[in-house]
Amino acid sequence: MHINLSPEMEKYLQTKVGTGFYSNASEVVRDAIRRMRAEDEKLEALRAAVRVGDEQLERGEGIAYTPERLDKITDEVFARGVAARSPAAMPHPDPALILSPQAEDDFADILRYTVEN
């Protein structure tokens, strides 16, 4: 297989090899493809979660998203010991907002990730 690259892309590829992290241009390309695949998989997982949430909302399974619900989710995350940071600075949502159960789970995952990193 032969790949045509612009001079800028070829220079970038050679710069990557020049760092010593990659032995040759093929390794750079393979790594780039692996990363693209991983990103595609993450994007598909996100789209699937959005579809689940949309379906839940269509079935009327929405949950009123209140400051109290946010506090409950936050307290549960912090109770699991994921971080020593204070949740006091968390913004409170619009009380008219309705979430799907999937979105609530995703919010908890995002909060866990945020406080862990």
pLDDT tens for residues 44-83? 988 998 888 889 989 998 887 788 888 888 887 777 665 4
Q: pLDDT per residue over 35-44, tens digit each? A: 999 999 989 9
d(CA 96, CA 74): 19
pTM above 0.85, yes or no: no
In this structure, are residues 63 and 69 in contact, taking their beta carbons and an 8 Å threshold? yes
Contacts of 102 (CB under 8 A, 6+ apart): 49, 52, 53, 56
